[in-house]
């Protein structure tokens, strides 16, 4: 009985009110449509930015700080940055511990450096000291063999340098590489 009365009242308002009811309905609908459009636009912007971050990460692994800096460069708010970082971590696209392992392996393979230089580079990339220390405890590096590999490659360049100068150059080279 009440439901029928409400329907009849609504119908009566629509008939009697005429233009006022229509104007109110149009206002409500346009407000809803504008809000929905704004939300969809925001979701599209989020998806576009997320795809850009995935593209960045696909080229090489990144640290959390590198991605945060990238997002701040695009002038994004803190809530968007934190939600995107948590989404990337949840999907295991961001993992600083895995980054350390990858980075050290890359350095040892292509441009050997000592522990001191590696620690400094990892700190620059935003890795915490605790995580760096734990990583070196889990997987210690053999600096002596890395230094030998680096010097062996460099000796070809020093072939024509006199012996005493060669020694100085090698020592300087090794110290710049963090050995």
pTM value surpassing 0.95: no
CA 162 – CA 150 distance, rounded (Å): 20
Among 135, 150, 51, 64, smallest CA distance to 101 is for: 135
Higher per-residue confidence, 163 vs 31: 163
pLDDT tens, position by position, 98-127:
999 999 999 988 989 999 999 999 999 999
Exposure string of 112-147, with b = 16+ CB inside 10 Å and e = fewer, is: bbbbebbbeebeebbbeeeebeebbeeeebebeebb
The reported pLDDT for the residue numbered 29 is 54
Residue 141: HSE in the Cβ half-sphere, 13 Å Cα cutoff:
29
The reported pLDDT for the residue numbered 80 is 85
Please spell the DSSP secondary structure of 3-27, one letter per residue: HHHHHHHHHHHHHHHTHHHHHHHHH
- Look-up of token digits 């939600």: 83
Retrieve residue 41's tokens: 């636009």
pLDDT tens, position by position, 7-20:
444 444 454 445 55
């Amino acid at each position: 009985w009440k439901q029928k009365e409400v329907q009849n009242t609504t119908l009566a308002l629509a008939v009697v009110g005429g233009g006022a009811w229509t104007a109110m309905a149009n206002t409500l609908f346009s407000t809803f449509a504008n809000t929905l459009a704004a939300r969809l636009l925001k979701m599209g912007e989020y998806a576009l930015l997320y795809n850009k971050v995935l593209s960045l990460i696909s080229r090489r692994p990144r640290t959390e700080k590198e991605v945060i800096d990238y997002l701040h460069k695009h002038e994004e708010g803190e809530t968007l940055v934190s939600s995107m970082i948590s989404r990337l971590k949840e999907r295991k696209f961001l993992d600083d511990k895995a980054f350390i392992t990858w980075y050290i392996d890359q350095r040892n393979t292509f441009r050997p450096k000592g522990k001191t230089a590696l620690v400094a580079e990892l700190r620059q990339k935003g890795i915490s000291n605790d995580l760096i220390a734990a990583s070196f405890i889990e997987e210690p590096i053999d600096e002596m063999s890395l230094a030998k590999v680096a010097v062996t490659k460099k000796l070809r360049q020093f072939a024509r340098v006199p012996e005493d100068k060669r020694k100085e150059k090698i020592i300087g080279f090794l110290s710049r590489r963090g050995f």
